[in-house]
Amino acid sequence: MIIQDIEIAHPYAFIVIDGDFNHCTLKKSSVHYYQHVDCPTRGNATLDLCYSNVKEAYKASPLTPLGGYDHDLVILYPSYLPIVQRQRPHTVTTQQWNCPARDQLQSILDTTDWDMFIESTNGIDELTETISSYVNFCVDCSVPTNRQKTIPALWKQSCIIPVPKKANITCMIDLRPVALTSVAMKSCERIVLRYMKPLVSEHLDPLQFAYRAKRNTEDAILYCLEKVYSHLEKSNAGHSARITFFDFSSAFNMIQPHVLVHKLLNMNVPHNLVTWLFNYLTNRSQYVRINQSNCVSNTLVSSTGAPQETVLAPFLFTVYTSDARSSHDSCHLIKFADDTALVGLITRDDGGEYLSQINWFVDYCDQNFLELNMEKTKEMVIDLRKGDHEPPPVCYQRPGCKPCLVL
């Protein structure tokens, strides 16, 4: 009965049952179990058994009894070889092109007597091969090389599970792609995140409340309310507030590795860490699996974005958008990971600075390959004055865009 309850509660779980099966059998179970102990455990009898619902999951090897116990010990080795052991990191050699190396190579090529190659070769094929070999030799002599390790492809492979965002699914955007990665990759991400946080902390946006010590969503809400309430206390002077809540379409999937690398280098992040992150984000193989079944898609390779629901993705997005900051004292761009709100403190219905900041932020998103979801981007107007002071809806300066709704 206990085994059946476990099978019903966890139909897709890996179940292991072991012990002394002297007068017991699992033949009546609805799930087919496989027995893995094939060596005697007491004299010539095999009494201590191990069952699981996966065929050939373990290989048994006998050991000597423990103390005065009359049953032999059995060690079970998993037949499955972990990804970490199947594919280890390998070292590649890359050339570091920089200004001194380029100038040195240019100097060598400028002082080369090219007529010598023409006179000493017979035919265009031999001339081409000779010049190519010489140029490669000059490059090897001038451009320094860097030996670095790459992340194994299997570590970066992710299984995409589509999770519904709402009950009734009508289109693809109603599904959230959750990436399941290997344990080895998750461990590496945690190590990199712990090492990376202190390196970039001083460069992060002060109004980014995610991944900051002693900060959370409540701090972001309190900061927003404090700015709005303190401004509205002067409502007799014609003060009001407008807040635009921006929604990104697949925010983490829009991260461009080459843009992120440039920003990390400007933050003085060590080159080897930047290289690791670039390798982590590029050439990632992924496939889609539906409903924990065997229905899977073909494997595709992606070099854009960060995998959803991984350890590093939210923090990389905060670094990616750390330079998105308001330049006006009357506007505050408050962020918590990918949740962004622009608070505009309006005086005497003059919303020029607020509107210019909205257009600036839209331009910033375009330049950084971020896509705004206009249908979910909303504006809220807070005005305690009497009379009709409702401003017109904000319309972004983009062809075919819809005005944001005023709540």
10-residue stretch averages of pLDDT, the chain, 407 residues long: 77 82 65 83 83 86 83 86 66 75 84 84 88 86 71 86 84 83 90 93 91 85 92 78 90 91 92 89 89 80 88 92 91 91 88 89 92 87 76 60 46
DSSP conformational letter for 342 = E
Decide if 87 is inside a domain. no
| Residue 286, CA distances (Å) to 205, 308, 361 in order | 32, 12, 32
Question: Does residue 88 sit within a domain?
Answer: no
Q: What is the pLDDT of residue 392?
A: 67
On whether residue 84 sits in a domain, the answer given is no
SS3 content of the chain, % helix, strand, coil (to 5): 35, 25, 40
Q: Say what the pLDDT of residue 97 is.
A: 78
Global model pTM greater than 0.85: no
Are 236 and 321 found together in one domain? yes
Count CB-CB contacts under 10 A for residue 60.
Answer: 18
pLDDT of residue 246: 92
Would you state the pLDDT for residue 255? 93
Q: Chain-centre distance of CA 112, in angstroms?
A: 49
Q: Are residues 141 and 170 in the same domain?
A: no
391 and 258 within one domain? yes
- Does 375 lie in the same domain as 313? yes
Give residues with Cβ within 8 angstroms of 154, minimum separation 6: 83, 86, 87, 182
